[in-house]
């Protein structure tokens, strides 16, 4: 019936149901034969319903925007804290790598000095550091 159709459209206008739900309900009315012909809707002001629907969509958009803004404001400090932790941990890893590389270089220097430092003259040419002239070139 006409009143059922108007009630469905009113619920859509008030935001109580979605456009998809309204479409399904109207189609259901149409299929069960309870709905009048759509051509008989002379007294139904379509433009008024469109305006109201647009108003509801605008209000909904504002509400969603406000909720998203609030969520981002709550997330920002958490993201900053997480970023700080990542930066600190990265700095620690870089520091450990640097220490390990420095230790390796020191060990290489020590092994070169040990190799040549106490070596006899004839053994210096077989040494890894190449004697007094510095490292051997291959």
Q: What percent of the chain has pLDDT over 90?
A: 33
How much is the pLDDT for 88? 97
List the end-to-end C-alpha distance of the chain, in Å, as a whole number.
99
> Rounded mean pLDDT of 126-137?
53
Query: Would you place residue 34 in the very low, low, confident or very high pLDDT band (cuts 50, 70, 90)?
Result: very low
Burial tier of 8 (Cβ tally within 10 Å: 0-12, 13-18, 19+):
buried
- Summarised one tens digit per residue, pLDDT across range 88-114 is 999 999 999 999 999 999 888 777 655
pTM of this prediction exceeds 0.95: no
Q: What percent of the chain has pLDDT over 70?
A: 70
How much is the pLDDT for 5? 84
> Rounded mean pLDDT of 112-138?
53
What token pair was written down for 20? 């998809």
3-state secondary structure of 34: coil
3-state secondary structure of 25: helix
> Rounded mean pLDDT of 41-52?
71
The overall average pLDDT reported for the chain is 78
């Amino acid at each position: 019936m006409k009143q059922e159709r108007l009630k469905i459209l009113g619920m859509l206008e008030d935001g109580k149901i979605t456009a998809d739900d309204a479409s399904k309900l109207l189609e259901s009315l149409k299929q069960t034969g309870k709905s009048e012909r759509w051509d008989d809707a002379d007294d139904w002001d379509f433009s008024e319903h469109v305006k109201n629907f647009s108003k509801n969509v605008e209000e909904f958009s504002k509400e969603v925007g406000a909720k998203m803004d609030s969520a981002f404001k709550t997330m920002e400090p958490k993201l900053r804290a997480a970023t700080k932790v990542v930066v600190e941990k990265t700095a620690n890893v870089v520091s450990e790598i640097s220490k390990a590389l420095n230790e390796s270089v020191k060990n290489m220097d020590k092994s070169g000095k040990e190799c040549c430092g106490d070596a006899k003259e004839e053994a210096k040419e077989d040494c890894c550091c190449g004697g007094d002239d510095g490292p051997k070139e291959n």
